Amino acid sequence: MREVAILGIGQVPVDEHWDKRLVELAGDASFAALEDAGIKRVEALYVGNMMAGQLDKQTHLGALISDWIGFRGIEAMTVEAACGSGALALRTAMMAVSSGLVSSALAVGVEKMTDTSPAETTAALATAASADWEGVHGVTFVGLNALIMRRYMHEYGWKHEDFAPFSINSHANGALNPFARFQSPITKEVYLNAPMIADPINLMDASPIGDGAAAAVVVPLDLVKGTNQKPLVKIAGSSVATDSLAVHDRHDPLWLSAAEKSAQDAYRQAGITPDEVDFFEIHDAFSIMAALSLEACGFAERGQGPKLALEGEITRNGRIPIATLGGLKARGHPVGATGMYQIVEAVRQLRGEAGPAQIDGARIGLTQNIGGSGATIISHILKAG
Amino acid sequence: MREVAILGIGQVPVDEHWDKRLVELAGDASFAALEDAGIKRVEALYVGNMMAGQLDKQTHLGALISDWIGFRGIEAMTVEAACGSGALALRTAMMAVSSGLVSSALAVGVEKMTDTSPAETTAALATAASADWEGVHGVTFVGLNALIMRRYMHEYGWKHEDFAPFSINSHANGALNPFARFQSPITKEVYLNAPMIADPINLMDASPIGDGAAAAVVVPLDLVKGTNQKPLVKIAGSSVATDSLAVHDRHDPLWLSAAEKSAQDAYRQAGITPDEVDFFEIHDAFSIMAALSLEACGFAERGQGPKLALEGEITRNGRIPIATLGGLKARGHPVGATGMYQIVEAVRQLRGEAGPAQIDGARIGLTQNIGGSGATIISHILKAG
């Protein structure tokens, strides 16, 4: 297997981009990634997107975007696993390049969620859950996560306020990221007094939707080693794992088995243990998901994710910094784009380009993108140099 | 690059499966493919699907289907390029296996189109075209193809009746395929008297929608050579190419440049010329598309596709048999599944298992799956032995 590297990255700010179409957002992120990589062309485009068919009345994004960015004719396709679609774009680019079938690829995650009504967007998001067991009852995504969080609090004895550090940390980091949707720190009082959405999840437990796009150029490592001006970032581990779509049908609804499996696979491929991970771009769609991910990936004991957060270990100077540029909570969660934002942010850290949000001496980063409430989980280990 | 083979195939009849959910159709095709391959498990699942988010209110099919077929936990994702989604499942499985990242994969194409109203299904199909330039005007897929066909007739001097052999050939072959939606031959009179849909396209120029699923098991060639009871089929060529999504924006709306590019790539990879192709599973969504594909793939001169058909060269004993088990016109066109039906049918031919529809001495088959009206085209060369 040919090893692959990320040669360039690009992103647009997560926002309500009412003046830009989906293809323009994808294009702007792609142009930035190509310029950053210093190359003029790629052989293939893999697009992570979940909802354009439903919200933009536009499927077939691969051909659309490759034409828009001036690469009419190249291989192109969309990949999808709900909110995990973004990281699948990188995974597919890696498979294409490491197989030798393609010599360079662009992975783009893109989503446009704010041109439609909240009801339409919420209904489209709900298609990530089981239509037969969950969607049919009208349960929303925040509703499903609320059920999980309530059970978790009951099972392990945590109070709602114990989750405050997740939100506070993400907002503190997002304040240092010019691409984040929310660039303002929050206090514990703001967290505690936020309006309730689906008890026990309040507004500060939930990530905001948004429009956004993020991209990366993927090439064979051996072709670019020693030639690039910027520090090279290698994809040292990549794994996708799944679980039951319907939450009730899992062996344990409080354990993200697909997070555990994909993280363990990625660690093994990279030849590392969790102790060696310098930072973790986590899928904190809801604060409960951050806690569960930390546990499944080996950073906290079962049921003890909030303890790690309460002890300050998830902040920039802690044992395992998470959401270092704002995470889903503050950078925002344009669903099909989120996984690629995580990749872009990890590369910024590994290159030492994260500015005031920089993790000192970051050499190894874990990114983890979650589809549904844990049914598809994609883990990547990126290494500097 | 590791060479890959197709070890097993499975399909369900294309029909109005009102008694089966999408996941059951995908499951039935998958079980058949696994049984045919004689293996119990695969490491990954790649699902070709276009419209489940819109019509079934269900995205995230990878996790859903892998759980249903008993493989909870494995890597899984959906791949999409409108009506070209099916062949992308095989393409992705091939990339995964040839990279060495995955040692065995299941490629499944699935679509459920008949549980919704014709208006809903037609609107969902239209998302394959450019929303900004075509969909916004309310043009349907048959409408776009009618514009292309009318221009073609004007440019090259063909009459409507000259396209009759495409439909007659597909129906004659579909009559020999128990999995085909329409298993009845038609006469030229039936063709000429069919109701008009979008002038000049009548009912017999257009393929029917349907519910269906088809699957294939993909493994490294070296692992199975000499071990399998059934004749091995190798993926000798695989290529994806794109063109402008909006038809008006193409350099020549009467030339499928993505068909030409992907077919030429596939020929080169396989080390063959079009002369060596024994049969062609063609994307005859409309009879005009069959003509254009034959030309772009090197079987007819520009503008002369109908001539080849009129001379009888597309039938089982002709120079280049097409749609050998009914094609889209008679087997049916469950859009995201179609590309995998083509693969299943080509494997049946190459194994000598096509029964009365068998092409004598078939050793090399071309399959071509088209997304939109030519914006994404996937070509595969399959070789026996």
Contact B43, B363 (CB under 8 A): no
What are the chain A neighbours of B336 within 8 Å (beta carbons)? none
Q: Please, which residues have CB within 8 angstroms of residue B118's CB and are 6 or more apart in sequence?
A: none
Residue B198 has pLDDT above 90, yes or no: yes
Contact A245 B60 (CB under 8 A): yes
Which residues are paired to A286 by β-bridges?
A206
Confidence of residue B228 (pLDDT cuts 50, 70, 90): low
CA B378 from centre of chain: 9
Which residue in A77, A100, A243 is closest to B88 by CB distance? A77
Mutate to test the interface with B, among A77, A122, A235 (most CBs of B within 10 A): A77
CB burial of residue B137 (10 Å; 0-12, 13-18, 19+) = exposed
On whether the CB atoms of residues A78 and A22 are closer than 8 A, the answer is no
Nearest-CA distance A327 → chain B (Å)? 22
Angstrom distance (rounded) from CA A36 to CA A166: 32
**Helices A22-37 & A61-68, crossing angle to 10 degrees?**
60
Active site residues of B: 83, 333
Residues in chain A: 385
Query: What is the per-residue pLDDT for B224?
Result: 84
Which of B22, B242, B380 to mutate: most A Cβ within 10 Å?
A: B242
Instruction: Average the pLDDT over B26-40 and give the result.
Output: 97
DSSP A235-257: EEEEEEEE--SSGGGSS-TTS-H
Residue B147's alpha-carbon distances to A78, A156, A326, A333, B142, in angstroms, are 27, 65, 50, 41, 9
ipTM: 0.98
pLDDT at B108 over 90: yes
- By three-state DSSP, how is residue B91 classified? helix
Residue B369 has pLDDT above 80, yes or no: yes
Q: What is the CA radius of gyration of chain A?
A: 19
- Chain B environment of A53 (Cβ under 8 Å): 50-51, 53-54, 124, 127
pLDDT of residue B230: 77
Confidence of residue A350 (pLDDT cuts 50, 70, 90): very high
Q: What residue has token string 């749609």?
A: B323
Banded model confidence at residue A228, pLDDT cuts 50, 70, 90? low
Taking the C-alpha atoms of residue A256 and residue A282, their distance in angstroms, rounded to an integer, is 13
Interchain contact, A94 vs B77, CB within 8 Å: no
Q: Do B73 and A126 touch (CB under 8 A)?
A: no
Instruction: Give the alpha-carbon dihedral of A307, A311, A315, A316, to 10 degrees.
Output: -140
Question: What band does A24 get if pLDDT is binned at 50, 70 and 90?
Answer: very high
pLDDT of A227 higher than 80: no
Please tell me whether residue B108 adopts helix, strand or coil conformation.
strand
Distance CA B259, CA B375 (A): 9
Chain A residues lying within 8 Å of B241, measured CB to CB:
73-75
Q: What does the pLDDT average to over B165-189?
A: 98
Q: How many CB atoms lie within 10 A of CB B10?
A: 23
| Partner-chain contact B101 A77, CB within 8 Å | no
Whether A230 has a pLDDT exceeding 80, the answer reads: no
| Most distant CA pair in chain A, distance | 57
Q: How far is B351 from chain A (nearest CA, A)?
A: 26
Mean pLDDT of A222-248: 89
Question: Quick one: A119 exposed, middle or buried, by C-beta within 10 A (0-12, 13-18, 19+)?
Answer: exposed
Chain B residues with CB-CB distance to A58 below 8 A: 127, 130-131, 135
Contact A62 B372 (CB under 8 A): no
Task: Say whether B239 and A75 touch across the interface (CB within 8 A).
Answer: yes
Active site residues of A: 83, 333
| B189 has a pLDDT exceeding 70 | yes
Are B200 and B194 within 8 A, CB to CB?
Answer: no
pLDDT of A78 higher than 90: yes
pLDDT tens for each residue of A176-211: 999 999 999 999 999 999 999 999 999 999 999 999
Q: How far away is chain A from the Cα of B154, in angstroms, using its nearest Cα?
A: 27
* pLDDT confidence of residue A373: 95
Among the partner-chain residues A2, A66, A80, the one whose CB lies closest to the CB of B59 is A80
Residues contacting residue A100 through CB under 8 Å, at least 6 positions apart: A2, B1, B98, B99
Q: Find the mean pLDDT for residues A38-66.
A: 97
Judged by CB atoms closer than 8 Å, whether chains meet at A60 and B127 is answered as yes
The whole-angstrom distance between A237's CA and the closest CA on chain B is: 10
Provide, as residue numbers in chain B, all residues whose Cβ is less than 8 Å from the Cβ of A74.
241-242
The rounded distance, in Å, linking the Cα atoms of A241 and A338 is 18
Q: Which helix (H) or strand (E) holds A216?
A: strand A212-220
Q: At A242, is the pLDDT very low, low, confident or very high (cuts 50, 70, 90)?
A: very high
Question: What tokens were used for B149?
Answer: 């066909």
Give the closest of B44, B72, B245 to A244, CB-based: B72
Instruction: For residue B81, list chain A residues with Cβ-Cβ distance below 8 A.
Output: 60, 62-63, 76-78
Task: Give A352 to chain B, closest Cα distance, Å.
Answer: 29
How much is the pLDDT for B226?
74
What is the distance in angstroms between the Cα of A124 and the nearest Cα belonging to chain B? 8
Grade residue B18 by pLDDT with cuts at 50, 70 and 90: very high
Residues of B in Cβ contact (< 8 Å) with A241: 73-75
- Residue from A75, A304, A216, B234 nearest A294 by CA: A304
Nearest to A146 by CA among A200, A195, A192, A194: A200
Percentage of residues in chain B having pLDDT higher than 90? 97
Of A51, A63, A82, the CB nearest to B81: A63
pLDDT of B305? 98
Rounded average pLDDT over A152-167: 98
| Structure letter (DSSP) for residue B176 | T
| A277 vs A299: CA distance, rounded Å | 10
The pLDDT of B168-182, averaged and rounded, is 98
Measured in degrees and rounded to the nearest 5, phi and psi for residue A383 equal -125, 140
**In this complex, do B77 and A75 lie within 8 Å of one another by their Cβ atoms?**
no
Q: Is the pLDDT of residue B62 over 90?
A: yes
B338-B340-B341-B343 Cα dihedral, nearest 10 degrees: 130
Average pLDDT of B309-315? Answer: 98
Comparing CA positions, the residue from A309, A77, A108 lying closest to residue A214 is: A108
Q: What is the mean pLDDT of chain B?
A: 97
For residues A216 and A203, give the distance between their C-alpha atoms in angstroms, rounded to a whole number. 31
| Gap between the Cα atoms of B128 and B373, Å rounded | 8
By the 8 A CB rule, do A195 and A202 touch?
Answer: yes
The CA distance from B382 to B342, in Å, is: 11
Cα B94 to Cα B32, B100, B375, distances in angstroms: 20, 10, 22
Q: Is the pLDDT assigned to residue B33 strictly greater than 90?
A: yes
Task: Report the residue from A59, A124, A371 with minimal CB separation from B63.
Answer: A371
Please tell me which of the candidates A51, A95, A242 has its beta carbon nearest to residue B74: A242
